[in-house]
A and B are shown apart, each in its own frame.
Chain A
Amino acid sequence: MVDMLSIDEQINKVWHILQTIHDPEIPVISIIDLGIVRKVELIPSTNTIQIGITPTYSGCPAIDAIKFQIRLSMLENNIYNFSIEQILSPAWTTNWITEKGKQQMLAYGIAPPVNQNNFENNVLVENIACPQCTSTNTILVSQFGSTACKALYKCNNCLEPFDYFKCH
């Protein structure tokens, strides 16, 4: 790390850099707004910044691309003493997606997760608002969409298919 910066400044700098890294599957949303960055902290014994991230799904192929991008961005910003730790517990939940992240998702054409409380009953909700025309006259086509984290819906009003980000 650059020695001139205090510990807080170093950690802030890392958070700031992470804010610029996006999920390759949803390139409008930062990994912080997606809720997968769990911690940034200094390990005093090694003077290393440890970045804790968690995958959305166990098999999510984006996680390797994201780790690579974090590594690249840190080096570009002259941060060399850092490590990336993968955290599995507590398991990632869509509750950790920020309001800003949900709005960005919606603007990108993906319906953000709703009715989180229903998740325990394992029910995929009907009447998800269409991100194109806002109609709630929509129907579930498949529980699995273009990626494991999304379900495929169709709007009966504008007839467009759309992805819904599943509660998790």
Chain B
Amino acid sequence: MQNSDLLLLSSVETQKLLVLADTSLIMAQRLSEWCGHAPILEQDIAISNIALDYLGQARNWYQLIAKTLNKREGTNTHTEDTLAYLRDVTDFKNLLLVELPNNNWAYTIARIFFISNYQHHFYTQLLTHTNSNIAAIAEKSIKELNYHVQWSGDWMIRLGDGTNESKQKMVEAVNNWWSYTGEFFEEKLHAMFGTNATILEQQWMAKTKAIFEEATLHIPENKWMQTGGIEGKHTEHLGFILAEMQFLQKTYPNATW
């Protein structure tokens, strides 16, 4: 951790890092629900490993945010745990897509593909961020995201270009998730990071189209997009996730293993 860089983060910048931290944490929490329930053992292990990668990335972001807040306020009250366990629904800034229920395997795969493909290109732009801490976490995460994109892309093809039933489920998943992908490229999000939303969307779409073509899937025509996650306006589903995830710390404050 480069301490000299910590003070360079303004409170606005700290807030924006919550978008990355919360998105990774809620993604990890959702994927963890598959542990012990995936179609076959190998995929159960795979999805649990991907969940762990997301949890690790969330921890890196939260640790950076906590150190920044402590430094600015001259305290040591903020930790990765207080950020994860003691904030309420409207404080969370995750993208809406990650908080929605897993539904079936096709929905889960499509979500991993959409998110990991997005983060891979987003974090690549963050490699040149002026704050070295942000660039370092991005650098670390990209290597893991590479494998997530590959794994979920393979499954997109397998289900999309599979049986009638797998195809129908994948088409339904893609159509239902699509309106949640617009939030990825919101100008106000990328203005905060100094990242280029137009280029990002082009790169994301190019990869999506390439996989869709192999998977014999079509890009939905729906242009209307959901919005709100990065401002703390969430679906009803986030409250249920937090209720389960935060229960222990809220009922037994400061409990440890």
List CB contacts (< 8 Å) of B124-142 with chain A: 132, 135-137, 139-142
Q: In the complex, which residues of chain B have a beta carbon less than 8 angstroms from the beta carbon of A147?
A: 49
Contacts of B151 in A (CB 8 A): 143-144
Pair B143/A59 contact, Cβ less than 8 Å: no
Q: Which of B46, B56, B57, B142 contacts A143 (CB 8 A)?
A: B46
Q: Please name the residue on chain A nearest to B153 by beta carbon.
A: A122
Q: Give CA–CA (A57, B49) in the complex, Å.
A: 10
Number of interface residues of A (CB under 8 A): 28
Residues of B within 8 A of A86 (CB): 1
Confirm or deny: B7 has a beta carbon within 8 angstroms of a beta carbon on chain A.
no
- C-alpha spacing A112/B142, complex, angstroms: 22
Asked whether B111 is an interface residue with its Cβ less than 8 Å from the other chain, the reply is no
Question: Looking at the complex, which one of A60, A91, A145 makes contact with B139 (CB distance below 8 Å)?
Answer: A91
**Does B234 have its Cβ within 8 Å of any Cβ on chain A?**
no
A148 within 8 A of B: yes
Q: Does A46 contact B (CB under 8 A)?
A: no
Are A148 and B53 in contact, CB atoms less than 8 angstroms apart? yes
| A59 with B46: CB separation less than 8 A | no
Q: How far is the CA of A85 from the CA of B3 in the complex (A)?
A: 12
Query: Which residues of B have CB within 8 Å of A122?
Result: 146-147, 149-150
A88 CB within 8 Å of chain B: yes
In the complex, how many angstroms separate the beta carbon of B92 from the nearest chain A beta carbon? 20
Cβ < 8 Å to B, chain A residues 139-155: 141-148, 152
Cα A146 to Cα B143 with chains together (Å): 18
Contact B136 A88 (CB under 8 A): yes
CB distance from B165 to the nearest CB of A (A): 23
Complex CA gap A89/B50 in Å reads 21
Residue of A nearest to B147 (CB): A143
Distance, CA A90 to CA B132, complexed state (A): 11
- Say whether A78 faces chain B, with CB atoms less than 8 Å apart: no
Look across to chain B and name the residue whose beta carbon is closest to the beta carbon of A90: B139
B192 at the interface (CB under 8 A from A): no
Task: Compute how far the CA of A93 lies from the CA of B139 in the bound complex, rounded to whole angstroms.
Answer: 11
- Distance from A122 Cβ to chain B, minimum over Cβ atoms (Å): 5
Complex alpha-carbon distance, A146 and B44, angstroms: 11
Interchain nearest-CB distance for A74 vs B (Å):
21
Alpha-carbon separation in the docked complex, A88 to B139 (Å)? 8
The answer to whether B136 and A144 touch across the interface, beta carbons within 8 angstroms, is no
Closest to B50 in A: A144
| Chain B: minimal CB distance from A115 (Å) | 15
A58 interface contact, C-beta 8 A: yes
Select which of B49, B54, B139, B142 is within 8 A of A144 by beta carbon. Answer: B49
A168 close to chain B: CB less than 8 A? yes
CB contact under 8 A between A59 and B55, given known A142-B46, A144-B45: yes
The residue of chain B having its C-beta at the shortest distance from the C-beta of A145 within the complex is B45
CA distance A85 to B136 in the complex (A): 14
Q: B144 on the interface (CB 8 Å rule)?
A: yes
Smallest Cβ distance from A148 to chain B, in angstroms?
4
Interface residues of B (CB under 8 A from A): 1, 42-43, 45-46, 49-50, 52-57, 59-60, 132, 135-137, 139-144, 146-147, 149-151
Apart from A88-B136, A152-B45, list 20 A-B contacts with CB within 8 A: A57-B56, A58-B59, A58-B140, A59-B53, A59-B55, A61-B52, A91-B136, A91-B140, A91-B142, A122-B146, A124-B150, A142-B43, A143-B147, A143-B151, A144-B46, A144-B151, A147-B49, A148-B49, A148-B144, A168-B143
Q: Which 4 A-B pairs have the closest CB atoms?
A: A59-B56, A58-B56, A89-B136, A144-B46
